[in-house]
Amino acid sequence: MARYIFITGGVVSSLGKGLMAASLAALLQARGYKVRIRKFDPYLNVDPGTMSPYQHGEVYVTDDGAETDLDLGHYERFTGVSARQSDNITSGRIYQQIIAKERRGDYLGATVQVIPHVTDMIKEFALADPDDHDFILCEIGGTVGDIESLPFIEAIRQMRNELGPDRTAVVHVTLVPYISAAGELKTKPTQHSVRELTSLGVQPDLLLCRCEHPLPESERAKIALFCNVRKEAVIQALDASSIYAVPLQYHAEGLDAEVLRHFRLEKDPAPNLGRWADIVDRHNNPEGEVTVAVVGKYVGLPDAYKSLNEALVHGAMANRVKVNIRWIDSEIFEQDDADIAAQLEPMHAILVPGGFGSRGSEGKIASVRFAREHKVPFFGICLGMQMACVEAARHTSGISAASSSEFGPTDQPIVGIITEWMSKEGLQQRGADSDLGGTMRLGAYEARLAGNSHVSTMYGGAERIMERHRHRYEVNVAYRDALEKGGLVFSGMSPDGLLPEIVERPDHPWFIGVQFHPELKSKPFDPHPLFAGFIAAAVDQSRLV
């Protein structure tokens, strides 16, 4: 029977609830428990799929095609448990489903209200698909006290009453700020945050206190007294050297032990944290370093490429080196006085990531051309692969007007809108006038690899792979012969042979473009083979520079 751990946050946002949930799940997993993590998002978007990366960071995509919050990426990277559609829900999706039921008459004329209808649906989501998990962790987005989070807090209160303390625990993540002028840590914000939570009927069982300086025993005792928890349940959470050091740090502070004590499981054996110690050792003790340029359009907000950043770190750890990521706005390469060589010559590798729209596209194409002509390792992902195909058409296949229909009308649509494809649900069809939300090719799809290809070698000789997609446009297979005559080989295709999945250049040290998003499946203890190979190529390049 599953036990539920609810994670709330107070005082300010960005305290690291997602990392805390992922780290606690990893610690419980290391003790032999089966875990799952879920995210409640209070915003009114049905999902983050139509939100700007500058608003919300990256959109994380699951195998079953859900567009979700980026915290689900943390969950997967730390536990290796594949997230599902049922692991992320928003207020928008809840209200959408309730209104649809009301319109159908499912409520039999009853007045539809936040309590019980909204809270019942939240509880239904939390309790769905328990399978044989020992622990289900539920992170509540936002900050306690926000109007939009009130229905979620009320649902937690009801679940605590219905399931009882033996099956539920609440961990409240809060801030203990350091006032440099006074030279003191201040506990009052934490006290007020807990008071706000308890006023809503939810008493936290553990407090995770984010602080920049160690929390003295006297302050820990004060927090415990005023917040009505055991002193041992007040856990300090200092800044870590990397996110992958957090599980070990939280274990040292007693977080997992205190959670198990709450559930009367404190006699369980100690966790096996060997793989986390190895990850931290690889991260902290590199034997070299490389510099990779990421030429994108959302580089002003690192969270827009969160999974990409982490996958590069994983690839670096696989090669026991440090990766220095140079974020370059692709628009600067479109200026009249742009000195592309000055920016890219010092780089050991170039990566062009995904994105939407025409802004910065010519700068991405210029980056691809530089990588091709100067034999610099190149990795194109989603739009990055498409721009590699446009660059090849223009400069090696003689199609000077090559472009993408995503950027406007064109006579040479090397890339065009995908109108139909096969999924597990059958034939999917889309048009240019389809809604933007949830209408892309989403989730895991199979690709078949050419047996003598470089990419097949990267995958250990595999003939078939499954990778996650998120795109509305596709390389036009009608241009395959022209592009291959120019040296760009189609080395991965959909099973029906109609959708290009991977391109590469056999005459280049390392030049691969993929339509999917391999970064979504990379983990610190299982780096994605393409990122491990890309960083290995960067290491080789560093010896030539």
- Which residue, of 254, 279, 304, is where some domain finishes? 279
409 and 340 share a domain?
yes
418 and 366 share a domain?
yes
User: Which residue in 67, 391, 504, 519 is the catalytic one?
Assistant: 519
- Which residue, of 212, 246, 279, is where some domain finishes? 279
Percent of the residues in the chain that have a pLDDT greater than 90, as a whole number = 79
406 and 534 share a domain?
yes
Least confident of 28-42, 83-97, 333-347: 333-347
User: Which residue in 219, 382, 474, 528 is the catalytic one?
Assistant: 382
The mean predicted confidence, pLDDT, of the chain is 92
Q: What pLDDT sits at residue 419?
A: 61
Least confident of 124-133, 483-492, 504-513: 124-133
User: Which residue in 56, 454, 471, 517 is the catalytic one?
Assistant: 517
Q: What pLDDT sits at residue 472?
A: 87
Q: What pLDDT sits at residue 392?
A: 95
408 and 453 share a domain?
yes
pLDDT bucket at 22, cuts 50 / 70 / 90: very high
CATH number at residue 74: 3.40.50.300
Q: Is the pLDDT of residue 427 over 80?
A: no
292: Cα within 13 Å, side-chain hemisphere? 30
Beta bridge partners of 35: 135
Least confident of 90-99, 389-398, 406-415, 463-472: 406-415
* HEC string for 303-330: HHHHHHHHHHHHHHHHCCCEEEEEEEEH
Q: What pLDDT sits at residue 424?
A: 56
Q: What pLDDT sits at residue 51?
A: 84
**What type of residue is 486?**
G
Taking the C-alpha atoms of residue 290 and residue 105, their distance in angstroms, rounded to an integer, is 61
CATH number at residue 376: 3.40.50.880
Catalytic: 446?
no
DSSP string computed for 480-532: HHHHHHTT-EEEEE-TTS-SEEEEE-TTSSSEEEESS-GGGG-BTTB--HHHH
55 and 182 share a domain?
yes
What totals of helices (H) and strands (E) does the chain contain, helices first?
A: 18, 25
63 and 155 share a domain?
yes
512 and 375 share a domain?
yes
Catalytic: 469?
no
Q: What is the DSSP letter of 389?
A: H
8 and 78 share a domain?
yes
347 and 209 share a domain?
no
Residue 418 · residue 434 · CB < 8 Å: no
pLDDT bucket at 418, cuts 50 / 70 / 90: confident
What tokens appear for 511 in the block? Answer: 């030049």
262 and 346 share a domain?
no
Q: b/e per residue, 103-117, with b = 16+ CB within 10 A?
A: eeeeeeeeeeeeeeb
Q: b/e per residue, 429-446, with b = 16+ CB within 10 A?
A: ebeeeeeeeeebbbbbbe
Residue 183 · residue 206 · CB < 8 Å: no
The DSSP element (H or E) to which 250 belongs, if any, is: helix 246-252
DSSP string computed for 175-189: E--EETTTTEE--HH
Which one is predicted more confidently, 435 or 272? Answer: 272
Count of domains for the chain? 2
Q: What is the pTM of this model?
A: 0.92
Q: Is the pLDDT of residue 421 over 50?
A: no
Residue 394 · residue 322 · CB < 8 Å: no
167 and 235 share a domain?
yes
254 and 323 share a domain?
no
pLDDT, tens digit, 9 for 90 and up, residues 145-178: 899 999 999 999 999 999 998 999 999 999 999 9
Catalytic: 227?
no
- Which residue, of 279, 311, 340, is where some domain finishes? 279
Domain range enclosing 341: 287-542
